[in-house]
Amino acid sequence: MKLMLSRFFQVFLLLIPFTRSTSHAQNLTGIWRGYFITESYDQYKFELQVKQTGVSISGVSYSYLSTIFYGKATLTGNFNKTVQSALIREIKTVELRMSRGSQACIMKCYFQYDKSGKEEFLEGSFSSRFEKDGFGVKKGDECGGGKVYLRKVTTSDFYIEPFLRSKIKTTPVIINQPPLKKDSAKVKITTVPVKKPPLTNKPIAKTNPPLVKKPIVKPNTNSTKINTPVKQKVDTIQKIQQPAVKINPPKQIIPDPDMLIKRENALVKTLVVNDADVTVKLYDNGVIDDDTISVYLDKKLVLSAKRLSGTPLIVKLKMDEDNSEHELVMVAENLGRIPPNTSLMIVECGEQRFDVRITSTEQKNAVVRFTYKKPK
């Protein structure tokens, strides 16, 4: 189920098929939490609690801005082990805590299962239709769509359903724990005093340049006048008045920062953009668990040890034909409470939009390359 904020609030019910994955999907039983983004770029939290028995799936879903503003629906579905796809249909809305003028909608989402280390992800897109008539809409009318990003977790923002309590090993949540930086205990900074040269009371001897005697020129007593050739004078003036030749300085070589040297820099994606102004937004992907990153743009630090959350970190790029290549490197400063360090990058460039999921560790940085191509 999903909430969309527009002229009035809407609650959506969810239908989810999964597409083929390159690896064998684990049993989907558990809690999947993250968020969805609408076509108008509104972002909402989203949680599924599902139980898989054989090929059958059942459970509930929550879509919410907060735990006091949410909608809850029951769901059912099935799982196809051959092609690793699942169809999950929310049956009906069972709880609504929203303002007046809200509408409920049935959703369909197309997800892909992925796994990185011990992390499991569900990502996809959705479409939706109104569940009931009301407020100028009819049942079955389209409600819009967007994209969904979920990660498998062990805690719920609400409460764990009875059918999951015996199947999930809960992990205590540490509140307000400051993010730890990599090797923070190992780094030792020492200050070395700089020795200044000893002072002396001896006066500094002044040295005058040696005198140069100019030759004495005797006046010419001869009546014969010697004329300097005019051409020689003109040539001399022209040589003096010639503009200086402009020499381009050599291109400055920027040394790689230590974090880019000591860790592997893995290329995640190359994006081809056709607008000069590019905006990059970085969110925590899934649970907000104090993931902290630094960001380098063309080897220059632009964001230092920033915490990922539901509010984006923003980096702006300026592209043109003379400066058509840029590279962003995301460096994990810690792994949060739920390793690895994961983030969602949303790139907005004119009418273009890209979504890139980023995973970085203390051994590997994530690289996204931007290439500018002027539209014809």
pLDDT digits (tens, 9 = 90+) for 359-373: 888 889 999 999 998
> What pLDDT was estimated at residue 47?
92
Q: Quick one: fold of 2-165?
A: Lipocalin (2.40.128)
What DSSP state is assigned to residue 249?
P
Q: Round to whole Å and give the CA distance between 181 and 292.
A: 8
Domain-wise residue ranges, the chain: 2-165, 258-372
One-character DSSP codes across 274-322: -SSEEEEEEEE-SS----EEEEEETTEEEEEEEEP-SSPEEEEEE-BTT
Q: CB–CB of 361/331 below 8 Å?
A: no
Which of 241, 334, 253, 345 lies closest to 294 in space, CA to CA? 334
Is there a cis peptide before residue 340, judged by omega within 30 degrees of 0?
yes
Q: Does residue 173 have a pLDDT over 50?
A: no
Q: Do domains 2-165 and 258-372 have the same CATH topology?
A: no
* Helix or strand run (H / E) with residue 31: strand 30-38
For 356, list phi and psi in degrees, rounded to 5: -130, 125
CATH, domain range 258-372: 2.60.40
Which of 287, 289, 347 lies closest to 315 in space, CA to CA? 347
> What pLDDT was estimated at residue 254?
53
Q: How confident is the model at residue 41 (pLDDT cuts 50, 70, 90)?
A: confident
According to DSSP, the β-strands at 9-13 and 15-19 are: unpaired
User: Burial, 345: exposed, middle or buried (Cβ in 10 Å; 0-12, 13-18, 19+)?
Assistant: buried
pLDDT digits (tens, 9 = 90+) for 312-354: 899 999 888 888 899 999 999 988 887 788 888 999 998 888 9
Residue that wins the pLDDT comparison between 182 and 111? 111
Q: CB–CB of 15/91 below 8 Å?
A: no
Residue that wins the pLDDT comparison between 194 and 280? 280
Q: Round to whole Å and give the CA distance between 345 and 293.
A: 13
